[in-house]
Each structure stands twice: as C-alpha cells, then as structure tokens.
Amino acid sequence: MVNLLKKLRGGVLVGIGYMLSPLSWWNDLFFNLPIALVFGYAVSWIYPNWFLPGTVIGYWFSNVLGILMMQFGAIDIFLTEDRRNIRRDLPIALGSSTLYTLVISALVYLHVLKVPDFLMNLHL
C-alpha cells in the first residue's frame, strides 16, 4: 500500500512538474507566465523598476520547480530510497532551467520572440 501511494505521489509530481517545466513550452501561457508575472508584480512592490527582472526570475524559478518536481516524481516511481542522489539531481535541474531561460531571454532580446507591448510599458 505504501509503495502504491508513493508511486501515485510520484505520478502527481511528474504531471504538475511537466506543466511547469521547459518541456511544456506550449503551456507557458497558462502556468509559467502567470506565475512569473505575479512574482514580477510582487517584486515591483519592493523595487518599483524591477517588474521585468522579477518576471524573468519568476519564470526561471517556475521552470526550476517544474524540473525538480519531475525528477523527484520519477525518483518516487522508479527508484528505491537508497538510489536517490540530490547532489546530482539539483545541479542538473538548475543548469537546464537556467540554460532554457537564457535562450528565451536572448530570443526576446534579439526580437525573435516578441513581448506584448502592454508588458513592456507596464509601470506598477
């Protein structure tokens, strides 16, 4: 019974993590961008000119969270307790999410991807 609950928990973590991860780029509009915008808005309360950097940080954070959730869910499903290695998994998650965010940021900077005008002119 405990093993079944662990596998169910792992499946839920993988599913939610997939929606947050860079692997589901098509789902950014529904999950990652709203999280990033809320984070950017919260940061702009403290530092008024930091809406855009706060949004980028929030976007990166939501991607990292998604990858970590997928990794921990997969570990619950496929590995036993003695085969877990957080020292290996965490740098992989941070590195891949950071790389993805840098690529997206570069595409926005080079105007390959267009950011809506209302986001660029937002002064909160």
Show pLDDT as tens, one digit a residue, over the chain (124 residues): 778 888 899 999 999 999 988 777 777 888 898 999 999 999 999 998 899 899 989 988 898 888 888 888 888 888 766 666 778 777 876 787 678 778 877 887 898 877 767 666 655 4
pTM over 0.75? The answer is: no
Report yes or no: 97 and 57 within 8 Å, Cβ to Cβ: no
Give the pLDDT of residue 122.
Answer: 56
Residue 18 CB partners (closer than 8 Å, separation 6+): 24, 66, 70
- Per the structure, the count of domains in the chain is 1
Q: Please, what sign has the CA dihedral across residues 77, 94, 33, 22?
A: negative
State which residues form the domain around 105. Answer: 2-120
How confident is the model at residue 119, as a pLDDT? 60
